[in-house]
Amino acid sequence: MRPESGKTVSKRRNLIQYATLPYRLEGGEPEVLLITSRETKRWILPKGNPKKHKKSFMVAAEEAFEEAGVKGKISEKPFYTFDSVKRLKSGREVPCRVRVFTLAMKKELAAWPEKNQRERAWMSFAEAAHNSGESGLVTLFLDLAADPDLALEKIKPLKAHPKTKTKAKTKAKPKLKLKLKAKAKGKAKTETKAKPRLKLKAGAKTKTKPKPKAKQKAKAKSKSKKGAK
């Protein structure tokens, strides 16, 4: 986006902002909620800067409440990203990358924190494209207006990381290892117990030797023969 005449754009690193695209069905037709900016009064999406220890989609949901007064089911991953310009308090403008999260509106509040600072309005995709003050959003709303039915599938809130069954598989491995170890230990015990029994049986056989008795008989015979002579 080109800077307006008389404005200076900073060359600092791009900022990141998280925006919310609130939508609802009115008479079966989808509508999006836009709000006015505090200074220029342009029609924009609710958005804010990243916050420590808070996930991006949670920041977007908070901004939707504070700036637009709506609550609902927020998407956990960005639906759309576009480049814009953010005006600082000093008057400088810096490049800004905006990540948009969709919000299926469930509750619209009559009073909200920034009610006295902004206006809000529900618009069709075509009206939003005509009134939007950010060129990146104009392109988005024109694409959604081309096919409203398909647009609902595109902006439906999605989870960032769907659950898988890999964790259950990894937990089962240690159990199998323990079972195998237990079987191996049982086999080892039976083998060590059987060895002493085999040794005892073998020892018993070796004790019954006929050789000593036969030698004694032979010696007795030889003595009797000598005595007879």
CA dist 211 and 170 (Å) reads 67
CA dist 159 and 76 (Å) reads 5
CA distances 35 to 47, 80, 93, 123, Å, are: 10, 18, 20, 11
Phi, psi of 210 (to 5 degrees): -80, -10
CB distance 99 to 56 below 8 Å? yes
CB distance 70 to 64 below 8 Å? yes
Nearest alpha-carbon partner for 144 in 124, 130, 121: 124
Give yes or no for residue 175 having a pLDDT over 60: no
Two tokens, residue 158: 């999605």
CB distance 146 to 59 below 8 Å? no
Domain 15-108+115-154: give its CATH superfamily.
Nucleoside Triphosphate Pyrophosphohydrolase (3.90.79.10)
The sign of the dihedral angle between the CA atoms of 91, 45, 62, 40 is positive
| Residue 163: per-residue pLDDT | 54
CA distances 122 to 32, 134, 166, Å, are: 6, 17, 43
- Could you tell me how far CA 63 lies from the centroid of its own chain? 23
Give yes or no for residue 4 having a pLDDT over 60: no
**% of the chain with per-residue pLDDT over 90:** 49
| pLDDT tens, residue by residue, 21-74 | 999 999 888 999 999 998 889 999 999 999 999 999 999 999 999 999 999 999
pTM to 2 decimals?
Answer: 0.64
Q: Parse the chain into domains and list their residue ranges.
A: 15-108+115-154
